[in-house]
């Protein structure tokens, strides 16, 4: 359902519950991470985009004067009541801890909206790794800003929402989800440097290309404990390598230290180091509409997550295998698991005209392989948080401020420039060929070779604007 249709629906639902029309309606999107998985807590790069699935909040000031925010969920979940006259702490229902944390953050900054009646209507799938929690947090923040007329800097707003998830939901998430939900722009992905928190908008404005999301509709209960283990393993690898984080290590550094670490720790670090490079390379490929290369990088990312980081599962692997069998001729350039792993969703780069055929084939083959019905949809890069109705204006997009750099600054200061001289690059270790990337370079069987071979061909020798061409990439 498009946002304009949601405005009418949510307005009607609000009126049914509260007996009057809402004064404010805001929305914030979920997200899909196109590439760059488990790199955020290693100070790396991620490449998410906002999807056209939203957490929508409709609200009005209370008519009884109570200093309480009353939340109803259109899905029928237990309502929540947040008393602004008392310290706000985590409580029940648990779903309301996300807005509780955000409200507490704004109150701590002296921003108090007063008592409100609020209705939540979310179209972001729950439990699929598409960040329904960040969408709820950011929509809450956007509502508070609209009610009070006091707006935070976009980065501060995103960090406030992240802190809410840490402190009130107990989830030690990275910064990606909240950043893209706040700062996403239509027809653009967001390349986020998780160390500096600087962002670059990456255009993806070709309507013939879309992102196809498949929800495996499984969630294996391994995520929380395994997530903590992998963070610890990455920290262990960085300590052995003598670097602040794996962001600062190269393929050669890791290979030289292989005898000092266990095989598991080595493989965890290999995933992170290579995934950071793949992410930077994919951003350049997207800028040049080099769909073949981006697709190959997505497949390589999935293999790395499956074999080295070990966070995939048979259902996610099945979706990627089906995608590979459909191939470019059938409309799929590449596919990978997205999110923390152990279930949830995959993301595929596809030709939009082929989506009906892809959907039919995917549904049939996935059901045959797993016995499970998958959910799927296609999306284009959507806008970040928006104000849909307010006492001041209608359909007024939130202006999140300057979220990207101009073209000259991208070339001078972007991730490619920052990687110059830091050692051999796996992004560069791709031996460009007319079909895209040499498979030996994007795979993992010869990781050390990739690093050593391209010690002579570092990113410093590559102009970002000449590096990719729409049909081919050139040998340097």
Same domain, 213 and 358: yes
Same domain, 331 and 355: yes
In a domain? residue 32: yes
Residue 203 is given by DSSP the state E
Same domain, 164 and 272: no
Please state the φ and ψ torsions of residue 277, each to the nearest 5 degrees.
-65, -40
Same domain, 236 and 373: yes
Domain with 268 in it: 209-380+411-461
Please state the φ and ψ torsions of residue 94, each to the nearest 5 degrees.
-65, -30
Same domain, 267 and 284: yes
Sign of CA dihedral 146, 151, 155, 158: negative
What is the chain's pLDDT, residue by residue, as a tens digit (476 residues)?
678 888 999 999 999 999 999 999 999 999 999 999 999 999 999 999 999 999 999 999 999 999 999 999 999 999 999 999 999 999 999 999 999 999 999 999 999 999 999 999 999 988 777 889 999 999 999 999 999 999 999 999 999 999 999 999 988 888 999 999 999 999 999 999 999 999 999 999 999 999 999 999 998 765 567 888 999 999 999 999 999 999 999 999 999 999 999 999 999 999 999 999 999 999 999 999 999 999 999 999 999 999 999 999 999 999 999 999 999 999 999 999 998 889 999 999 999 999 999 999 999 999 999 999 999 999 999 999 999 998 653 333 434 333 332 333 333 334 434 443 344 343 433 333 334 443 333 444 344 334 333 333 333 323 333 344 333 332 22
Q: Are 309 and 301 in contact (CB under 8 A)?
A: no
Q: What is the CATH number of the domain that holds 439?
A: 3.30.70.890
Last residue of a domain, one of 363, 396, 429: 396
Same domain, 160 and 235: no
Last residue of a domain, one of 345, 371, 396: 396
The CA distance from 364 to 348, in Å, is 17
338-386 residue pLDDT tens: 988 899 999 999 999 999 999 999 999 999 999 999 999 999 999 999 9
In a domain? residue 190: yes
Predicted confidence at residue 88, as pLDDT, reads 97
In the annotation, is 177 catalytic? yes
In a domain? residue 473: no
H or E segment to which residue 23 belongs:
none
In a domain? residue 404: no
pTM: 0.81
Task: Tell me which of 43, 60, 177, 365 is the catalytic residue.
Answer: 177
Same domain, 176 and 222: no
Predicted confidence at residue 221, as pLDDT, reads 66
Same domain, 46 and 92: yes
* Cα-based angle 232, 95, 314 (whole degrees, multiple of 5): 50
162-203 residue pLDDT tens: 999 999 998 888 899 999 999 999 999 999 999 999 999 999
In a domain? residue 468: no
H or E segment to which residue 335 belongs:
strand 332-338
Last residue of a domain, one of 362, 396, 430: 396
Residue 401, by phi and psi: left (phi above 0), alpha (psi -120 to 50) or beta?
Answer: left
In a domain? residue 401: no
Q: What is the CATH number of the domain that holds 132?
A: 3.30.230.10
Dmax (CA) for the chain in angstroms is: 72
Same domain, 79 and 168: yes
In a domain? residue 147: yes
Long-range contacts of 445-449 (CB under 8 A, 24+ apart): 447/251, 447/254, 447/255, 447/270, 447/274, 448/251, 448/252, 448/255
Please state the φ and ψ torsions of residue 74, each to the nearest 5 degrees.
-60, -20
Same domain, 315 and 185: no
Work out how many domains the chain is built from and give that number.
2
Same domain, 332 and 300: yes
In a domain? residue 405: no
Predicted confidence at residue 128, as pLDDT, reads 73
Same domain, 53 and 188: yes
The CA distance from 130 to 31, in Å, is 5
């Amino acid at each position: 359902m498009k946002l304009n249709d949601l405005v009418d629906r949510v307005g009607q639902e609000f009126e049914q519950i509260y007996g009057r029309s809402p004064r404010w309606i805001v929305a914030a999107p979920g997200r899909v991470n196109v590439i760059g998985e488990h790199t955020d807590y290693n100070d790396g790069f991620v490449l998410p985009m906002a999807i056209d699935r939203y957490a929508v909040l409709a609200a009005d000031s209370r008519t009884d004067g109570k200093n309480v925010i009353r939340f109803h969920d259109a899905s029928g979940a237990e309502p929540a009541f947040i008393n602004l006259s008392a310290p706000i702490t985590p409580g029940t229902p648990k779903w309301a801890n996300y807005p509780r944390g955000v409200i507490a953050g704004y109150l701590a900054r002296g921003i108090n909206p007063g008592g409100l009646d609020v209705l939540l209507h979310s179209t972001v799938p729950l439990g699929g790794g598409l960040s329904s929690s960040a969408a709820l947090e950011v929509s809450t923040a956007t509502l508070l800003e609209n009610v009070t007329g006091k707006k935070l800097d976009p980065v501060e707003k995103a960090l406030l929402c992240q802190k809410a998830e840490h402190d009130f939901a107990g989830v030690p998430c990275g910064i990606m989800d909240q950043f893209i939900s706040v700062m996403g722009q239509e027809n653009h992905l967001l390349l986020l440097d998780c160390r500096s928190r600087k962002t670059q908008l990456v255009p993806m404005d070709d309507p013939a290309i879309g992102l196809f999301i498949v929800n495996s509709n499984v969630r294996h209960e391994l995520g929380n404990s395994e997530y903590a283990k992998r963070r610890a393993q990455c920290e262990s690898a960085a300590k052995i390598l003598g670097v602040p984080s794996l962001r600062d290590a190269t393929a050669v550094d890791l290979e030289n230290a292989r005898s000092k670490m266990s095989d598991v720790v080595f493989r965890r670090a290999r995933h992170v180091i290579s995934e950071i490079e793949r992410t930077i390379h994919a951003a350049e490929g997207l800028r040049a509409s080099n769909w073949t290369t981006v697709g190959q990088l997505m497949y390589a990312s999935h293999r790395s997550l499956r074999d080295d980081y070990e966070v995939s599962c048979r259902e996610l692997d099945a979706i990627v295998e089906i995608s590979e069998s459909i191939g470019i001729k059938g409309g799929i350039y590449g596919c990978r698991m997205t999110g923390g792993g152990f279930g949830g969703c995959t993301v595929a780069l596809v030709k939009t005209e082929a989506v009906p055929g892809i959907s039919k084939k995917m549904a049939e083959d996935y059901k045959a392989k797993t016995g499970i019905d998958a959910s799927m949809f296609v999306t284009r890069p959507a806008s970040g948080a928006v104000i849909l109705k307010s006492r001041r204006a209608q359909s007024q997009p939130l202006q999140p401020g300057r979220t990207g750099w101009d073209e000259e600054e991208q070339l001078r200061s972007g991730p490619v420039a920052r990687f110059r001289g830091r050692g051999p690059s796996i992004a560069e270790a791709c031996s460009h060929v007319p079909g895209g990337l040499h498979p030996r370079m994007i795979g993992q069987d010869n990781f050390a070779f990739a690093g050593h071979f391209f010690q002579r061909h570092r990113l410093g020798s590559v102009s970002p604007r000449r590096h990719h061409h729409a049909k081919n990439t050139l040998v340097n």
